[in-house]
Amino acid sequence: MDNENHFDVVVIGGGPMGLSTAYHLSKRKAKTLVLEQFTFINQLGSSAGISRQFRIPYPDEYMVKLVKQSIPYWDELQSLTPVPLMDKVGTLWFGDPDVHSTEGNIRQAELALQAQDVAYSKVSAAELESKYQFKDLPSTYTGLFQAQGASIDLKATQQTLYNWNRKSSFVTMKEEAPVTKIEYRQQQFEITTPVGQFTARKLVLVPGPYADAVFKLLNFQVAATYWNMASAFYKKTDPRIQYPTWFVFQNPVGNNGNQFYGFPEVSWNYPGYIRVASDFVISPLNSPEQRTLIPNPEELGYTAAWVKHHMRGLDPVPHYTSTCLVALSKIANKELIVDFAPAHVPGHKDIVIYATGWAGKFVPLLGKILADLSLDGHTPYDISHFATGIKYFTQLK
Ligand code: BEZ
């Protein structure tokens, strides 16, 4: 095999995490290949829908700390482009303070913010309606507002990373390049794709929801469930209306998970409309193959009803609907997995993995962490909560 097809690191998966990993590897002068099975900046994975929430509130202090640690990396990325990567409108977490949902609990989040010295303000039930434009909420609801929250333009984020990688003499990017075989021989990986065969000393696996299609080539799989999440835009009827990014905590009612989240109006994504989505699925999937690009009408219906009953200044008819596919750990709620491949895989110490969970807000930092792990075998960031692959990965043969 000629030398031009040999790399220090091959990154499998060209979504935001793969592009960010390549960016950080290129800064370390590692010769890097990114393989994307579809096309770059597509709408088929977990980053579909373009906008994502940047929020510091989390019920766990280690997550709050990690979001704080991501901020300098967002600033660094922002310095590479004149396009704003975030609209800093703040984050409003509100709802029933007794609810312990899949996303956490408002009181616990307050404690975690306090422990990490993050400024926030408490929001009363009255203020949720007078200041933040919601309506007809139960009088027991409370909230917290954290001013550094933002809506992330994930498409511009990916474009910035992509543009850097294209210009970098250290990075090669190939699309329509699904990996069909991985073999480990003489301390290097041989990677087969329809666009060529490549060798590498190290692998970084960031295939998003398509994780098992790659992991099975190395004889393991991850215990995951798949959410094909529905989202829609709602037309503003009052041009003055604006919302922060927000999340409402409520107990489920029947098959309605009853948790919703939303965004401000942003210039990059259907201006004149506001995105609101449900943070639940009625039927989780067992594999990405079961996914369709059609949003579940019931989930859209519950969201539209919530918009109608509780949001001011919006026409409650869903437009520009979309789906986003995410793999979530079956074992630990929505935890991220950042780890090396399991020990039975030949060359496992040279295979770094990020799998499961929502990590849009961590894109610039996780790329750095994955690059550190790949080149150094360790990272200064605390990933002890995520380095749990041993529990979540199972051997196939
Ligand atoms: C998040 O920030 O991780 C998130 C926000 C809304 C829905 C799901 C996840």
Query: pLDDT for 144-161, tens place per residue?
Result: 999 999 999 999 999 999
205 has a pLDDT exceeding 90:
yes
Q: Does residue 354 line the site of ligand 1, with CB under 6 A?
A: no
For 268-297, how does the pLDDT look when each residue is reduced to its tens digit (9 = 90+)? 999 999 999 999 999 999 999 999 999 999
Give dist(CA 125, CA 112) in Å, integer.
22
**Ligand 1 pocket member 227 (CB < 6 A):** no
Asked if the model's pLDDT at residue 55 lies above 60, the reply is: yes
* 187, pLDDT greater than 90: yes
Strand partners for 277: 231, 261
Q: What are phi and psi of 201, to 5 degrees?
A: -75, -30
pLDDT at 389: 67
Which pLDDT belongs to residue 391?
Answer: 79
pLDDT of residue 189: 98
3 state SS for 197-235: EEEEEEEEECCHHHHHHHHHHHCEEECEEEEEEEEEEEE
Closest to 224 measured CA to CA, from 302, 118, 335, 121: 335
Q: From residue 44, give the alpha-carbon distance in Å to each of 25, 207, 293, 374.
A: 25, 12, 8, 26
User: Mean of the per-residue pLDDT values for the chain?
Assistant: 96
> 349-365, pLDDT tens digit by residue?
999 999 999 999 999 99
How much is the pLDDT for 59?
95
First-to-final CA distance of the chain? 29
Q: Does the predicted TM-score (pTM) go above 0.95?
A: yes
Quick one: pLDDT at residue 392?
A: 86
Q: Are 356 and 211 in contact (CB under 8 A)?
A: yes
Q: Is 55 in the pocket of ligand 1 (CB under 6 A)?
A: yes
Listed range (24-28, 171-175, 327-331) with the worst mean pLDDT: 327-331
- Strand-pairing partners, residue 245, are 91
pLDDT higher than 60, residue 348? yes
Query: Would you say the CB of residue 261 lies under 6 angstroms from ligand 1?
Result: yes
Q: Locate the ligand 1 atom nearest the alpha carbon of residue 261 and give its number.
A: 6
Give the pLDDT of residue 47. Answer: 84
Binning pLDDT at 50, 70 and 90, where does residue 49 land?
confident
